[in-house]
Amino acid sequence: MRTVTSVVVGLAVGYVCGAALGYVATQVFSGNVHDKELEAVMTAAFATGPLGAALGVAAALFFARRR
């Protein structure tokens, strides 16, 4: 049960951190002048958020295995 909890927490924290970092990175580095806000939201929700979630799950499993 401890591993499942760790994975769920890693998933949630990873998604939020990935989405926030992706949003900020898109706002700062995108050359889009027409609709930068929409690009940032979509990138955060569908690209960097899930990537962060996958990394969060991997980290949770790694640290749960080390216990």
Confidence (pLDDT) at 65: 85
Domain residue ranges in the chain: 2-66
Split the chain (67 residues) into runs of 10 and give each run's mean pLDDT.
Answer: 94 98 97 94 98 97 86
Confidence (pLDDT) at 66: 77
Confidence (pLDDT) at 6: 94
List Cα–Cα distances, 48 to 4, 7, 20, 27, 38, in angstroms.
23, 18, 8, 13, 14
pTM, rounded to two decimals: 0.91
